[in-house]
Each structure stands twice: as C-alpha cells, then as structure tokens.
Structure 1
C-alpha cells in the first residue's frame, strides 16, 4: 500500500497529500492540548510549591526522559511502525494524565512531578517517530513544506491552547485542563491510526547489507555518521541558547526593559506571529527552497535579530519595538527548524531515521538542560543582560557551525539522486 495518492516526485505543498492532511490535523489537535498543559502545569507547581526552584525543577524533569531513554527510543523507532509508535505514545500520554484528577494540595506535588516525567517519556518516542514518518508520507521533495506545516501546528496551538489553559485553570481546575488534553490525545491518535501503513523498505539507491541481516542502529551508530553528527552538534548548541532564553526572558522584560506581567505575556505571544507567517509561506513554497540554504539563512538571521533584541535596551525600553522584534524572530526560527529537520531526513536511511531523531532529541535535551541550569545559577551573580549577550553569542556560534559543518553534508551527498517516490527512504 502506498502512502500517498499524489504523483511520485511531484513538488508543491505537502497539503496536496491526503495522508499528510490527516497527520497535520492530528498535530494541530494534539499541540493545542499540549499548550493547555504546558501553561497550566508550571502554574500549578508554583502554586503548590510556592517556589521558583520547584518550577525550574519541573522543567528539568521534562528534559530527563529524552536523555535517559534515547537508546531505547532509537531501537523502538527503527524497528516498529512509526505510525504505531505515535499512536501508542499518545495513548500513554492520555492515560498518564489521569492522576492529575487527584491533585488538590501541596502534598500531591510528587504526583504532578511524576506526570511530567511520564508525559516527557512518551513524548520522547513520539517526536522521533513523527519526524521519521513525514518523508514516507510526502516524499523528500516536500520535506521543507511538511516540516514547516508541522511546526505551524505548534504556533497555532500556542495561540489557542496557551491562553485557554490559563483561563481554564483560573475559572475551573487542573482536572478540567487534564480532561481536555486527554480528549485531544484520543482524537489525534485516531487520526494517526487512520494513516496508510508504511512500506519499511529501502530504495535501491542506498547501500545495503546482506538480505536478512539487520543494519546496526541506535544513537551511537547514528552519531558515528558524519552528516547526522554535524546536524546534532548544530542543534545542540542552539538548544543551549534556547535553555538560557527560557529562564532569562522574564527577567529581561521585568528587570531590563521595566515591563510588567502583561508585557511578559504580550512579548511571549507575539513570537508566534512571524512563525505562523513563515510556516504558511514555507508550507506553500518549501518544496522550491533548498533545505541547506533555508537552515543557513535561518541561523544567521536569527542571530542578528537576537543581538538587536538585547542591545536595543541600551537605547530604548519601548515595548512596541520589542513586540516587533519578537514577532519578526519567529520567521528565521521556522526557517532554521524546518531546514535542519529536512537535512536530517535527507541524510539518513528510512529504516534508521528513528535513531537519527533520537540522537537529535538527546542533544536538544542536554543543550536545554545546560542552558537552563547555567541561567538559574548565574543570573543573580552575573546579571540578566550579560547572560543574554552570552545567549546571543551562542546563537552566533550556532550559525558559524552551520556554515562550517552543514555544507560538508551537502557536498557529500550532492551526487546522489533523491528518491522520486514517497517510499520510506532518503538520499543520505
């Protein structure tokens, strides 16, 4: 059974593929539910613990499963149907929300922490499986479009689910948020289950081992591959900067530009504006843009806007200016994310994409943990703005590494023709 009814090798938007439309809708439903919980859980932890340290601990707990489970995730996603892994992961996430119905007092805080770990554990399987599945649905020629549209889900989910999560927690309870999030997982799982079965075969353009002999897989084997390792390095460095931002953003708004809580919400929310515009544009035009060029433009432009954001505070504290800058920065963020994801999909065999994305998730979690920990420990002694300059420098290093490392991957594979059909393999 093929995974798409469109003509093999056809370009254009990934939305032209019926199976991808179902996957996209599943992602939109699931991401909206995730943002409900993403907003509600930290607030609940803060309310129950009365401590910012407790909230930071919750963020760090969320990063542990992708690190500890990476070897298992690689094996599972390489050996089982990606569709099946996604459905089981979403079912697990729905079930592990049930204990939140019993959370009422500070003594229930360990239950919240346990739910955070369980959610992140199933999520560690879901993301690599989804990223590995996409090329089997749309073909590598539409990878940029598909990855941008999948990223668009997160931004649309943030706009709808973020505020709704806060409102439900204020006027209802954590139980109401949990029940709605559970329903979103059930609906999304049903949509993913309706996708066509995958053909777990390799294209003839790739070297193969003796029939019946499985190729080595796993995180270490993925990292031993040069193109994959280079992409993981670039993404890990970017994740350190992202971890720094997660902690320092509020301090920047309140301490550096003297904004209030409303300004924090405004500047956090407007980041989705540019991202949504870029996601829509790439969703239509992504097949016509080279993934490497997309990643390089995204990384370098993101660095420039980040430097402008932090250093504009020496000139003005006008919130409208920062709203414009934060809205704009969503564009290169989408470019960089879609470009790096497409490059990794192109650089790996269909049967081993799960391992590659497990390695990517491992590096991302480690990078964010480093950034969050460093910001938490150094913000008070060093100050917010000096650390944000370090954060901007980290993004500059990301761009430099992208220019140095990623073209090697492109040159190394440029002589291989990309597969023309939607079968689960790539030109790597």
Structure 2
C-alpha cells in the first residue's frame, strides 16, 4: 500500500465528506433494498407459475441480454447527455416498468413477467454506466475508490434488508404489494439523484460512441479482461451453488439461504473500511489482492467438502469471501474510471456491463449444459480455476502505475462539496 502524501492528509479520504455523494449513497441504498425485494420475489413467482427450474434460469438469462445488446447505445447516450439526467430518467422508467406486475395472476401472464425483467435490465444498462462515469467527477478522482466501495456496500445492505423483506411481503401482500414498494423506492431514489450538481452535456462527438474503441485501448482492455473471466466464474456459481449445498454437503434449503446471506458480512466490513480509507490505499494492489483472495477462498471452500460437511465451516468461509469480492469489484471500477477520459467514460462502463453480462451468460450456459454430465464438484473445481485465471491475469495485465485523470472532476467535486 502507498503511504498518504501531504495532500491526502489534508483532505478527507472518504467520499462521505462530499454532501452530494451522501445523497447519491442514500438513493442507492433505498433503490438497492427495493431491487433485492424483487430479486427474491420474481424467481419465486416464475418458479410457481412455470413449475420448472428452466423457467427460472430463462429469467436470469433474459436479464443478461440488454447489457450486451444495448451497450453501444448506452455508451453513446451517457457520453453525450448530462449523466444526472440519464440516471433520473432511467430510475423513473424502472419505476413505471414495474406496473404490469400489478396484473400478473397466472401462467398466462408470464410474458408480462418476462417483459418486466427485460425492461428492468434495459434501464439499468443506462443507469449503471452513467453512475460510474459520474462518480469521479462528483467526489474527486482521489476519492473514487472510497465512493465505489461505498456504492458496492449499498448492495449488501440492501440484501440484508430487502432479501428477507421480499419473501415476507410476497407471502403477505403478494407480487403486487412487492411491486408497489419497489416503485416507491425508485421514486425516492430519483428525487435524491435529481438534487445532484448539474454536470456538462455533449462531452463526446458522435463518432466517439463506438464501444469497440474501449475494448482496443490497452488501459481499458486489461480490467475488462479480468472482469470477463471473473464473470464466467460467477455465472457458474449462480447455478452450481444450490447443488453444492444440497447435494455435496447434504445441507437443507435453509442452509442455502444462510450461506448465501452470510456473504454480506465480509462484504459490508470491507466496503465500510474502503469507504473510510479508500483514498489512502493503492488501487492496483487492492484489486490484485481481491482477485487472489477470492480465488484462494473459493478453491478452499469447494475442496473442504472432502474433509467436512459441517455447515458452520462453510458459513465462516462464505462470510470471509465477501471481503475480497468487494476489493476486486471496487478496484476494477476505479481502474476503469482512472483509465478513461471523461468524454469516453460512459462508453467504457457500457463495455464493462457488456463483458460482465457476456461472461455470466457463458458461465450459466456451461453450468446448465455440463452439470448433469460432470457432476457438481468437478465443475466447481473448474469455477475455482476460472477465478484463479482471473487472479493471474490481474497480476500480469493490470498496470503497476495508475494513469492520470482526464476529467472535469475538480470542478464538479467542488460543486458537490458546496451542495
């Protein structure tokens, strides 16, 4: 880790020192809690209506299509329009797109249900690049790592609140009630995002929206390569995790929920620590540490099954593994922010969403096609090896020195501090 210089000691390391970021963070926490309500409720409803795990898998696959198909358009719009405007519009559109769920009753309404899933993923395809592109300008480049960690922290806080609440609401008030609560979270989030400082529009000329240029730039290509390989491993995990708990270590459905939930413990601890100290730490080293740590704990988790099936042992490992996951995710995001000029950052993060969705799709398909042939544990060894490959690529490809920043961060961060 690099020692803080005089400038770092004078300025707070945490992005929470910026009032505008605090409003954005609260908006994200509210919205993420609503997302987890729906993340828990929708698969249960799909499974109930179809009676088939294949239908649930189709729902996951549908959500991956918009980031792949719409990435070029999302990158172009985010680089040409005010990012605050894009975020508010996308959030309001997500709220409206949930309304068809109010009339979903039986199997004949499945097209509506799948349409909502696609619409939600579509508008998120525009929101996420706009948010990631705006953050360095909002908080200043030196606090971007702190901001990214705190934004990631929202997802885990949302999981703790929204996950259990989603199941309870679905049982008590049904899908319509869950949808209305989620609509309310989107409206609150949109109102908070609308208070952010105005950012400049029209950054990029029309031709700069070509997303392939982001994939050609070596400084961008390295983090995207690591992200793609890690996403393949994540796609494998999504399918195989339940089989591991129920078939390999003979756990119950309750154990599935427990082990999935405890991942938030390490993630929250690491997110909070990075949120405070992010500006004082070396981004590249943290990213590599996250990749190596994630690969090591993953391999240990699967191979421990040869020694014990005690759920508590896996609970400890799954609680720990959330921490390197936060380091890897926040680190890759920060590297992409630092490596992209402000007028091309939207395109970069559209490409980021594309490679993550494509990687997860590859992993989901591999797991679905091969699990019945190879069995669960051999395929999980492949999953661990995939994370190990991501760690090796991080060691070999990520730059040892961060590039300078190229944006109007100081101007907008000053506005954010005074808001």
Cα pair 1:247 1:372 within 8 Å, conserved: yes
The equivalences for 1:157-306 within 5 A come to 157-199=158-200, 216-306=208-298
Match of 1:197, SS state, is coil
Instruction: Answer yes or no: is the 8 Å Cα contact 1:9–1:421 preserved in 2.
Output: no
Aligned mate of 2:323, from 331, 336, 341: 331
Q: What is the alpha-carbon distance in structure 1 between the residues aligned to residue 228 and residue 412 of structure 2?
A: 26
Q: Do 1:298 and 1:333's aligned partners in 2 also have CA atoms closer than 8 Å? A: yes
TM-aligned CA deviation for residue 215 of structure 1: 6.5
TM-score by length of 1: 0.92
The one of 402, 410, 417 equivalent to 1:422 is 410
| Range that drifts further, 215-224 or 35-44 | 215-224
Give me the whole-angstrom Cα distance separating, in 1, the residues matched to 2:138 and 2:11: 13
Deviation at 1:422, TM superposition (A): 2.6
- SS for the counterpart of 1:173 is helix
Q: Residue 398 of structure 2 aligns to a residue in which SS?
A: helix
Contact 1:201 1:424 in 2 (8 A): no
Give 1:146's aligned residue.
Answer: 147
1:243-272, Cα deviation, whole Å (9 max, x unpaired): 000000000000000000110010000000
Residue 362 of structure 1 and its aligned partner are, at CA, apart by 0.4
**Cα distance 1:114–1:201, how it changes in 2: closer, same or farther (>3 A)?**
closer
Q: 1:112 to 1:126 in 2, by over 3 A?
A: same
Matches for 1:368-383 after TM superposition, within 5 Å: 368-383=360-375
**Structure 2 CA distance for aligned equivalents of residues 105 and 305 of structure 1:** 42
What's 1:350 paired with? 342
Deviation at 1:130, TM superposition (A): 0.5
Q: Secondary structure at the match of 2:35?
A: helix
Instruction: Map Cα deviations across residues 305-341 of structure 1 (whole Å, 9 max, x no partner).
Output: 0011000000000000000000000010001111110
CA separation of 1:418 and 1:91: change in aligned 2, threshold 3 A: closer
CA distance in structure 1 between the partners assigned to 2:408 and 2:95 by the alignment: 37
Q: Which residue of 2 aligns with 1:133?
A: 134
Structure 2 unpaired stretches of 5+ = 1-7, 414-419
Give the match for residue 31 of structure 1. 32
Q: Is the 8 A contact 1:8 1:421 kept in 2?
A: no
| 2:333 match | 341
CA contact (8 A) 1:201 1:423 kept: no
Q: Report SS of the residue matched to 2:115.
A: helix
CA-CA distance at 1:423 after TM superposition: 3.8
Deviations 1:83-119 (A, max 9, x none): 1111010111000100000001111111100110011
**How many residue pairs end up in the alignment?**
406
| Distance change >3 Å, CA 198–CA 9, structure 1 → 2 | farther
Structure 1 position 199, deviation (Å) = 3.9
Equivalent residue runs for 1:72-87 within 5 Å: 72-87=73-88
For residue 223 of structure 1, report the CA deviation from its aligned partner.
1.2
Indicate the residue corresponding to 2:386 in structure 1: 394
- Provide the alpha-carbon RMSD of the alignment: 1.9
* Aligned mates of 1:115, 1:323 — CA distance in 2: 34
Distance in 2 (alpha carbons) for counterparts of 1:115 and 1:352: 30
Secondary structure at the counterpart of residue 422 of structure 1: helix
How far off its partner does 1:198 sit? 1.2
Deviation of residue 231 (structure 1)?
Answer: 1.1
Deviation string 1:45-95 (CA, Å, 9 cap, x unpaired) is 000000000000000000000000011001101101111111010111000
Q: Which moved more, 1:187-196 or 1:217-226?
A: 217-226
Q: TM-score, normalised by structure 2?
A: 0.94
For residues 126 and 10 of structure 2, the distance between their equivalents in structure 1, rounded to whole angstroms, comes to 29
Determine if the alignment matches structure 1 residue 384 to structure 2 residue 385: no
Q: Given that residues 36 and 161 in structure 1 are in contact (C-alpha distance below 8 angstroms), is that contact kept between their aligned partners in structure 2?
A: yes
Q: Would the aligned equivalents of 2:342 and 2:406 in 1 still touch at CA under 8 Å?
A: no
